[in-house]
Structure 1
Amino acid sequence: MALLCWVTMISWHTTAQQKTLRDTHTQGLTDSLTVWVFLAVDCPISQKYISELRRMDSVYTAHKLRVRGIVPGKINPNEVKTFVDEYAIKFPVSIDRDFTDVRRFHATITPEAILVDRQGQILYQGAIDNWFFDLGKYRQRVTEHYLQDAIDAALQGKTPTVRKTEAVGCIIQTP
């Protein structure tokens, strides 16, 4: 049975100054940026952001940006497939059964986005934008596009102005 879920192999390197990430599926593709997004199939805020993530995946594909979803926990792959189908997700979504990626990124919330550059440096981590400012509380109009601004800066060869924000959403329950 072919699932839209795939297992991602990641190697994490720590230097004295920065953490880097290398996705073994894209090694050698030095012309790409990757957005890793932690998602939960049952998190209403994750669900609400899928259309924005689909838009980014579509708009930035020409710029060699890759969006990758990560669903943490011991979830049934069929639940993830249903989620992917229901929300018409075109980007790959993997399951992080043992919370390896959660620990590597120090992710605590879904949705939480991490932008990684061509060399594996984390350029941005946190909220996608400022639509939600607390659980169940959101703005009528987004005024800060944190992830999009970080992507745009990286595509121009610049360091993003905002490197870290606090994501708002559902807590990732780790063992």
Structure 2
Amino acid sequence: MKTQMRFILPLFIMALLSLSSSWVLAESETTDTVKLHDIKGNTVEVPTGSSDKITVLCFLGTECPLARLYGPRLETLSQKYAKDARFYAINSNMHDSLEEFAAYAEAHKLKFPCVKDYENKLADRMGAERTPEVIVLDRAGKVRYQGRIDDQYLPGIVKPEPTRSDLKIALEELVSGKEVSTPETKAVGCLIGKVFPEEITTDITYTKEIAPILQTHCVECHRQGEIGPFV
């Protein structure tokens, strides 16, 4: 019996090690898609890796003035590059409901998939921080551009027309087989309202600390549906 145990015990330990290794591999595996629900309740697989087309991830918020201004512009670009690129509108704001995002998509006539990123998992994976912000992946799944859509709206500056259309230029260069000349720009807009991994406890209140700041710096210039100054 003791002789049998000497042979069985090592085999048992090896089996456990093999099983634990498979668990580690399973936890560290990455997929080429993220499954999210669209505004119609359907499951949409959003590419985060290789795909048959260029992938354009557009992070948008329903209340952000810039996101409202750029909605129609993104729809125009999605139609222009429909042959080579696939656009996705992504809402990662914890304070935006699916119904509100559906109303946003309808108001701006967005025809490409509009999905809700609950718990901002996709935004965190891709490093998105603002709305609007776009991330362009080539067919191999490599991030080739990230940042603003164009330069019409900059901190403290509003141009009549953009002088550089960064997203359009990046798409043109990718479609032509070129390297993206400017792979990163600073996105200007509202911060994504993210879910924090841990509960934050603070004595700060909206009435005492936040409201006075808004009254002093924002209310005078900011109007519903319009753009205010950004800092």
Identity %: 26
72, 79, 85: which one aligns with 1:65 = 85
> Which residue does 1:100 correspond to in 2?
121
124, 130, 133: which one aligns with 1:112 = 133
Residues matched between the structures, number: 157
Q: Secondary structure at the match of 1:61?
A: coil
Q: Secondary structure at the match of 2:70?
A: helix
Q: Secondary structure at the match of 1:115?
A: strand
144, 153, 170: which one aligns with 2:164 = 144
> Which residue does 1:15 correspond to in 2?
none
* Larger helix fraction of residues: 2
Question: Runs of 5+ in structure 2 lacking a partner?
Answer: 1-37, 197-231
- Inter-partner Cα distance in structure 1 for 2:122 and 2:160: 33
Which residues in structure 2 correspond to 1:1-175 (within 5 Å)?
A: 3-4=39-40, 6-9=42-45, 21-22=48-49, 29-30=51-52, 32-62=53-83, 64-74=84-94, 75-134=96-155, 137-174=157-194, 175=196
Which has the higher relative contact order, 1 or 2, with Cα contacts under 8 A spaced 6 or more apart? 1
Q: Normalising by the residue count of structure 1, what TM-score does the alignment of the two structures yield?
A: 0.83
- Inter-partner Cα distance in structure 2 for 1:119 and 1:78: 34
Which residue identity does 1:97 align to in structure 2? Y
Which residue identity does 2:123 align to in structure 1? V
Alpha-carbon RMSD: 1.9
CA 1:89 to 1:4, structure 2 compared with 1: closer, same or farther past 3 Å? farther
* Structure number, greater radius of gyration: 2
Q: Secondary structure at the match of 1:84?
A: helix
* Larger strand fraction of residues: 1
Q: Normalising by the residue count of structure 2, what TM-score does the alignment of the two structures yield?
A: 0.64
